C-alpha cells in the first residue's frame, strides 16, 4: 500500500508540474492586458492551493510575471491584484526559504564590469561633491574571492557619504565586509575621526592596508560578522572571545599565513562605533541574521548603520530587516529608482561579475547617491511604518519583493535605551525616531 501512495504522490507532482508549465508558457505569449491579468490571478490561486504547484511555478520562472503584475497593479491602484499577487510573491519567498535555495537576480548598475577580467591594480575615484580623489588597491580573486574588486553598491555609498559628509565627519566609522574598502577610505578622506575597514576574507586585508596607509585616520582589521553572532548567541563566551585572537569564521580561504593575518588584524571584540557601513554583503541566507547581530554589537548606543544592497532576492533583505528589529534596532528604508541603462537585466539571472558596465553608470551612481543622501525623497518605510511592514516573514517578503532589481538603503539606529520589545516589535514612544528633516549637508 505505501508504494501505491508514493505513486499517487508522484502523479500529483507530475500533474502540478504540467499545469504550472502550461500556465507560465501561456503568460509568455499573452499580450491582451485583461486576459493577462486573469491568467496571473489564476496562477496565484493555483500557487495558494498547492505547495507542489507553487514550487514548480517558481522554478519555471513565474516570479518575473508576478513582479511585473505587482508593479502594474501598484501603478493602476488595482487593490485586488495587489493583494493576490503580493500574497503569491510572499509565498514564493517562504517556499524558497524552506527549500534553502536562493536565486540571485541581476541588478543593473551593481556589477564590477570590465575590471573583473583584468589583473589586480588600483582604482582611482574622484568624488563629485568634495573633489577628493581616493585610491584603493584591488586583490587577486584567489586571495579574496568576491572582495577582490569594487562593486556598484560601494560606488553609490561612497557618493552618499560625499554628498552628506556630516554622516561620518569627526565620528568613528566601521566598514563591514569592505572588499577593497572604498567606503571606509572615502569616510577617512571626508574627515572621519577614525575609519576602521574590515573584511572576513583574510586575503583582502593586504590590499585594504595598502589603501589605508595613505591616510592617518584609516586602518585595516579582520572581522567576520558571524563571530559577533556567535558571541550574542552564546556559542562563544565573551570572556573566551576576548582572550583569543582566533576566528571561528572566515570567507574564501585561510592559509597558514592568512591565519597569522587574522591573529594580527582581528578587530577588538568590544569595539563600538558611531557609524557602521556595509554594502552588498547579503548573498546568502546564512548572512542576514549574523549581520544584524554584528550591527547590534558594533553600533554604539545612539549610533547609526548604513547598509546598501542591490536587492537580488527579496527574502534576503526581508530576513535581515526582521533580524534588525528583533535585536532592538530601528530601521528606515529608502529605495533607488531603477537604472535604465540595462533594461535587459530585469529578465536576467546571474552574471553579476563580468557584465559590461554602461558608460552612463557613473553619472547614475552620482545622481542616485544624491537622492538617497537626503533620507527623504526615496524613503519607502520610516521607523514607525517599518514595524508593521516587517511584522512577519510573509509580510516582509511581500514588501521587499517590490524592490527586486533595485538598490535598497537601510538606515539603522541603535537607540540610547532599548526601544523595541524583541518579542512583539512594539515601539517605546519615549524614544524619538530619526529627525523628520535630514541634517544639513556640509560641503
Candidate ranges 28-42, 49-63, 161-175; pick with highest mean pLDDT: 161-175
User: 314-326 and 393-401 helices cross at what angle (nearest 10)?
Assistant: 130
The pLDDT of residue 254: 62
CA distance 136 to 123: 5
The pLDDT of residue 266: 94
| DSSP H/E element including 302 | strand 299-310
* Mean pLDDT, rounded, for 388-408: 91
67, 75, 428 from 82: Cα distances, Å? 10, 10, 31
The pLDDT of residue 7: 37
CATH architecture assigned to 113-413: 3-Layer(aba) Sandwich (3.40)
The pLDDT of residue 28: 86
Question: Is pLDDT at 350 greater than 50 in this prediction?
Answer: no
Confidence band for 256, pLDDT divided at 50, 70 and 90: low
* Mean pLDDT, rounded, for 283-290: 87
Candidate ranges 20-24, 136-140, 245-249, 260-264; pick with highest mean pLDDT: 136-140
The pLDDT of residue 430: 38
Is the distance from CB of 207 to CB of 227 less than 8 angstroms? no
33, 146, 343, 354, 384 from 112: Cα distances, Å? 37, 10, 17, 7, 35
CA distance 70 to 430: 37
36, 229, 270 from 239: Cα distances, Å? 61, 15, 11
The pLDDT of residue 340: 82
Question: Is pLDDT at 206 greater than 90 in this prediction?
Answer: yes
Confidence band for 429, pLDDT divided at 50, 70 and 90: very low
The pLDDT of residue 145: 84
* Mean pLDDT, rounded, for 245-259: 75
C-alpha cell at 217: 585616520
The pLDDT of residue 57: 85
User: 62-76 and 79-99 helices cross at what angle (nearest 10)?
Assistant: 150
pLDDT digits (tens, 9 = 90+) for 96-112: 555 443 445 668 788 88
Name the residue among 75, 215, 73 with its Cα closest to residue 134: 215
* Mean pLDDT, rounded, for 328-354: 73
The pLDDT of residue 379: 96
Percent above pLDDT 70 for the chain: 83
CA distance 73 to 174: 41
Neighbours of 296 (CB within 10 A): 20
Helix (H, G, I), strand (E, B) or coil at 407: strand
* Mean pLDDT, rounded, for 14-25: 85
User: 285-298 and 225-232 helices cross at what angle (nearest 10)?
Assistant: 70
Q: Dmax over Cα atoms in the chain, in whole Å?
A: 77
The pLDDT of residue 247: 83
Question: Is pLDDT at 396 greater than 70 in this prediction?
Answer: yes
Name the residue among 104, 122, 111, 245 with its Cα closest to residue 181: 122
Neighbours of 192 (CB within 10 A): 26
Confidence band for 166, pLDDT divided at 50, 70 and 90: very high
Q: In terms of residues, how long is the chain?
A: 443
Question: Is pLDDT at 73 greater than 60 in this prediction?
Answer: yes
User: CB under 8 Å to 327, separation ≥6 — which residues?
Assistant: 292, 293, 295, 296, 422
Is the distance from CB of 199 to CB of 244 less than 8 angstroms? no
Question: Is pLDDT at 442 greater than 90 in this prediction?
Answer: no
Domain ranges of the chain: 2-99, 113-413
The alpha-helical segments, DSSP class H, found in 79-200 are 79-99, 141-144, 152-163, 182-189
Is the distance from CB of 336 to CB of 402 less than 8 angstroms? no
Tell me which of 34-38, 329-333, 433-437 is least confident.
433-437
The pLDDT of residue 257: 67
The mean predicted confidence, pLDDT, of the chain is: 84
* Mean pLDDT, rounded, for 190-218: 96
CA distance 301 to 431: 12
pLDDT digits (tens, 9 = 90+) for 266-278: 999 999 999 999 9
CA distance 64 to 91: 14
DSSP 192: B
Amino acid at each position: 500500500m505505501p508504494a501505491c501512495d508514493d505513486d499517487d504522490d508522484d502523479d500529483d507532482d507530475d500533474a502540478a508540474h504540467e499545469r504550472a508549465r502550461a500556465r507560465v508558457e501561456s503568460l509568455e505569449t499573452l499580450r491582451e492586458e485583461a486576459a493577462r491579468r486573469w491568467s496571473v490571478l489564476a496562477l496565484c490561486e493555483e500557487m495558494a492551493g498547492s505547495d507542489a504547484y507553487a514550487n514548480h511555478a517558481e522554478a519555471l520562472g513565474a516570479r518575473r510575471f508576478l513582479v511585473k503584475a505587482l508593479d502594474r497593479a501598484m501603478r493602476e491602484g488595482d487593490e485586488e491584484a495587489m493583494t493576490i499577487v503580493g500574497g503569491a510573491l510572499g509565498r514564493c519567498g517562504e517556499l524558497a526559504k524552506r527549500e534553502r535555495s536562493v536565486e540571485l537576480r541581476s541588478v543593473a548598475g551593481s556589477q564590477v564590469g570590465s575590471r573583473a577580467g583584468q589583473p589586480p591594480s588600483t582604482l582611482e575615484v574622484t568624488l563629485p561633491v568634495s573633489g577628493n580623489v581616493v585610491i584603493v588597491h584591488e586583490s587577486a580573486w584567489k586571495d579574496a574571492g568576491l572582495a577582490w574588486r569594487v562593486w556598484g553598491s560601494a560606488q553609490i555609498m561612497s557618493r552618499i557619504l560625499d554628498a552628506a559628509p556630516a554622516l561620518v565627519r569627526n565620528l568613528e566609522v566601521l566598514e563591514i565586509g569592505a572588499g577593497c574598502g572604498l567606503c571606509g577610505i572615502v569616510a577617512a578622506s571626508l574627515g572621519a575621526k577614525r575609519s576602521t575597514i574590515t573584511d572576513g576574507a583574510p586575503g583582502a586585508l593586504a590590499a585594504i592596508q595598502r589603501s589605508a596607509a595613505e591616510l592617518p585616520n584609516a586602518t585595516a582589521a579582520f572581522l567576520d560578522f558571524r563571530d559577533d553572532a556567535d558571541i550574542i548567541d552564546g556559542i562563544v563566551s565573551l570572556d573566551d572571545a576576548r582572550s583569543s585572537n582566533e576566528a571561528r569564521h572566515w570567507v574564501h580561504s585561510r592559509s597558514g599565513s592568512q591565519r597569522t593575518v587574522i591573529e594580527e588584524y582581528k578587530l577588538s571584540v568590544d569595539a563600538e562605533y558611531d557609524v557602521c557601513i556595509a554594502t552588498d554583503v547579503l548573498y546568502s541566507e546564512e548572512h542576514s541574521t549574523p549581520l544584524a547581530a554584528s550591527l547590534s554589537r558594533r553600533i554604539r548606543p545612539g549610533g547609526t548603520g548604513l547598509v546598501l544592497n542591490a536587492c537580488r532576492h527579496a527574502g534576503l533583505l526581508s530576513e535581515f530587516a526582521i533580524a534588525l528589529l528583533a535585536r532592538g534596532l530601528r530601521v528606515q528604508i529608502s529605495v533607488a529608482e531603477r537604472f535604465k541603462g540595462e533594461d535587459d537585466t530585469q529578465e536576467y539571472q546571474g552574471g553579476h561579475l563580468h557584465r559590461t558596465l554602461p558608460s552612463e553608470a557613473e553619472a547614475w551612481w552620482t545622481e542616485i547617491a544624491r537622492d538617497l543622501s537626503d533620507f527623504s525623497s526615496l524613503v519607502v518605510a520610516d521607523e514607525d511604518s517599518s514595524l508593521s511592514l516587517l511584522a512577519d516573514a510573509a509580510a516582509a517578503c511581500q514588501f521587499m519583493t517590490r524592490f527586486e532589481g533595485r538598490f535598497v538603503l537601510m538606515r539603522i539606529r541603535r537607540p540610547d535605551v532599548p526601544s523595541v520589545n524583541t518579542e512583539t516589535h512594539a515601539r517605546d514612544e519615549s524614544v524619538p525616531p530619526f529627525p523628520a528633516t535630514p541634517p544639513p549637508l556640509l560641503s
